Structure 1
Amino acid sequence: MKKEQVVNCQFSVWYPIFKKHTIKSLILPLPQNVIDYLLDDGTLVVSGSDHNTQQTQTNNNDSDAEEDIQWSDDETTTTVTAPEFPEFTSKVLEAINSLGGRIFPKLNWSAPRDANWIALNSSLQCDSLSDIFLLFKSSDFITHDLTQPFRQCSDQDSPDPVINYELVLRKWSELIPGGEFRCFVKENKLIAICQRDYTQYYQHVFKQEEQTCQAIQEFFSQHIQYNFLDEDFVFDIYRDSQGRVWLIDLNPFGEVTDSLLFSWEELTSGEVANQQEGPAFRHTTSEVTVQPSPCLSYRIPRDFLELSTGEDAYKLIDFLKLKKSQQEELEVEEEENAPQ
């Protein structure tokens, strides 16, 4: 996998080519101050004038009921004011409204799929900038896009291409996970197809294997093959209840992309392509093989993990002080309420 292949898989590169065959989307340049904010560990959500105005990490609406907590390296607790981006906020809200009021957010390559646990509805559906930032700042996938998109490329000796980061807003669509498939293309030949949500068993996928393969192959040959900038790539599709196929995403042909029920050794060696005439098709074949989602490992906040392992001594000390203070307050309250 070369750096050029990663660049070619940016949303703004492939979307104009396949616009007719994918979900309506809008692309907004990401200002540098917003990028800096997304990479800053100090504040979690943005304050601002969008319809769902958020408070800062250390500002609680019910300040009389609960003490604000700010992890710090010393005894002093300070309030961090979340930044505001009025011009960018206005552009985002305008774009969201033009897409029907609900969107699916992503950056140049990745969506924050590993952070849906933090959303109130456990969904990537957003209707405000605060919703987007909450997901982005909680996502390792987004951080990877911003800090090391070329980490697994083979041409590390060459200079990194300049990346203009973008916020991608996609019109919200209710996609059934059992309708998503990942397709692997090598030398412009479709060599493999895999159920995208391989952790679950879907009876209709099992029953419609032949029809699904045929539909995907026709879609590939008519709309995708020879139209992309590279001859090796991975694309995700959605097959709806009417049997129509829609392009969802494009990814580099390499280990940065999840190979699901295949191995990258199989895909790169030609082993899969030589097994049969058409593409190999893999899916979960029974409920016995159902697995937990790989994104579950992202559901433990790093602060909690560092506390439990003792990796951050200052946070552990602050945490123990807090627990001691809470215990003392509880004992005082119990004494005051005890019958005389």
Structure 2
Amino acid sequence: MKKEQYLEVTTTHKQSSTNTADCEEEEEDIQWSDDETTTTVTAPEFPEFNSKVQEAINFLGGNVFPKLNWSAPRDANWIALNNSLQCQNLRDIFLLFKSSDFIAHDFTQPFLQCSDDSPDPEISYELVLRKWSELIPGGEFRCFVKENKLIGISQRDYTQYYQHIYKQKDDICSSILDFFEEHVQYKFLDEDFVLDVYRDSWGKVWVIDLNPFGAVTDSLLYTWEELTSGHNLMTDETEGDPAQQDVPAFRHTTSEVTVQPSPCLSYRIPRDFVDLSTGEDAYKLIDFLKLQKSQQEESDEDA
């Protein structure tokens, strides 16, 4: 994919830290000192930005779903008190953003999967707030569009088995295809993209998000080789049926036996532990071994 496929938007980014340290429980500035100099560090404050964000949250009903330019902090819901991405103030938003690897990727490596050699464009980040809605995970679907044709639909929460999807798969596929052809097809700037939708209990389809068509987006129950080549998308029963040629492939979890843990569970583990277990950071492994050796030597001396 090319960098031009990404939307450029604007934002304000804030860093905030509050420090309280005094035996009499009084607030004061942190003092960082050494033998030569003493530096006073004052926590930054952005009252105008905080006021605008709170005003927007109140306008949207008091509860919002936050995201950055492309990613939402879905991997950080574990740190919230209610394990939810629902936010009521800027403090809740900062907590999720600071704890999310997805958000960190947007800030540090947004064009990592891009194939062209052009210089990275300057990015203006945008804080996106959406009115909070309680969505049933079994109603979310990811749609893969190639050359303005809907080629595949996947159950979004593929780690769980939903009986209603199994029973209504033909109706679900039909309603999503009708919605795509009426409201989305040929109306997006790019002809290759990924569309997330929600189908409610009345059969109405809603757009949730748009994503790049490529490895940076989770392919869920497909592989990107299948989606880019078009091979193995159809089943043996539908592959030779001319009436099925314009119908997108539809994949869903077919049995409770195939239920898997959420892929976001791994993000609850501290990054240092992950690096050690995978060997991705050799320096951390060396430091860990040095620490182990030092502790062993101290133990031998005590003995």
Give the TM-score taking structure 1 as reference length.
Answer: 0.71
**AA of the residue aligned to 1:158:** S
1:158 and 2:139 equivalent? Answer: no
Query: Kindly tell me: are residues 304 and 273 of structure 1, through their superposed partners in 2, closer, same or farther at Cα, counting changes over 3 Å?
Result: closer
Structure 2: runs of 5+ lacking an equivalent: 26-38, 296-303
Instruction: Describe the SS at the equivalent of 2:128.
Output: strand
Alignment of 1:1-340 (within 5 A): 1-5=1-5, 7-8=6-7, 29-31=10-12, 34=14, 37=15, 46=16, 55-56=18-19, 59=20, 82-155=43-116, 157-272=117-232, 275=239, 276-277=244-245, 278-302=247-271, 311=285, 313=287
Q: Distance in 2 between matches of 1:181 and 1:63?
A: 55
Whether the 8 Å CA contact 1:238–1:246 is kept in 2: the answer is: yes
**1:302 counterpart letter in structure 2:** R
- Specify the SS of the correspondent of 1:208: helix
Using the TM superposition, give the Cα deviation of residue 161 of structure 1 relative to its aligned residue in structure 2, in angstroms: 2.1
d(CA) in 2 for partners of 1:194 and 1:123?
Answer: 23
CA separation of 1:303 and 1:213: change in aligned 2, threshold 3 A: same
Opposite residue 291 of structure 1, the aligned amino acid is Q
Q: Is the 8 A contact 2:12 2:127 kept in 1?
A: no
Q: What SS does the corresponding residue of 1:166 show, helix, strand or coil?
A: coil
Q: Confirm or deny: 8 A CA contact 2:154 2:251 kept in the other structure.
A: yes
In the TM superposition, residue 312 of structure 1 has moved relative to its aligned partner by 8.8
**Count of aligned positions:** 265
Secondary structure at 1:182's aligned position in 2?
A: strand
- The alpha carbon displacement at 1:164 in A equals 1.4
Q: Secondary structure at the match of 2:103?
A: helix
Call closer, same or farther: CA 1:2–1:92 in 2, change over 3 Å.
same
Percent same amino acid at aligned positions? Answer: 71
8 Å CA contact retained: 1:180, 1:197: yes
Gaps (5+ residues) in structure 1? 13-28, 38-45, 48-54, 65-77, 322-340
**8 Å Cα contact 2:63/2:87 also seen in 1:** yes
Separation (CA, whole Å) in 2 of partners of 1:212 and 1:260: 18
Distance of 2:133 and 2:253 partners within structure 1: 24
Distance 2:232 2:24 in 1: 60
Q: Whole-Å Cα distance in 2 between the matches of residues 62 and 202 of structure 1?
A: 56
Deviations 1:39-77 (A, max 9, x none): xxxxxxx35xxxxxxx54xx489999xxxxxxxxxxxxx
Coordinate RMSD, CA, aligned: 2.9
